[in-house]
Amino acid sequence: MTMTFDVKGFCPMGCGATLFAGYGGYIACSNASCPNPTAVADILDVRETEHIVTLRADEFTVRHPLRERVENELEECRFHRLLAALDGPPEPPGTYRVTVCRDNVWTWEPVRR
């Protein structure tokens, strides 16, 4: 017999309070019409804890670490503001893991995809 338990929280796909934990603690959405019932598990499976930045010649994208969402800092991200204020990309085009070190020095590490 497989036991399931309701999980407090909401499906990120918009289904509402439909989450459950199944055997082994795997979290999923119980809504049969959910477009991605494993979205929560997929989010929790991401091990990245730093900013992932993709630079192009005239634009950039930032995947923020989840801690910024939890700490309600997503809209106030210092790093995003710093990038937006630059005249051009601070590194050659590509994808980077960016971490802040002492004294607000940002370290750029290329990410292999």
Q: Under a CB-based contact definition with an 8 Å cutoff, are residues 20 and 31 in contact?
A: no
Supply the pLDDT for residue 1.
Answer: 56
Residue 7, number of CB atoms within 10 A of its CB? 19
Nearest of 77, 36, 2, 106 to residue 19 by alpha carbon: 36
**DSSP string for 14-25:** TTBS-EEE-GGG
Residue for token pair 């804890």 = 49
pLDDT of amino acid 2 = 63
Confidence band for 85, pLDDT divided at 50, 70 and 90: very high
* Predicted model pTM: 0.77
Q: Are 28 and 35 contacting, i.e. CB atoms less than 8 angstroms apart?
A: no
Averaged pLDDT for residues 52-73: 89
Report pLDDT for 9: 94
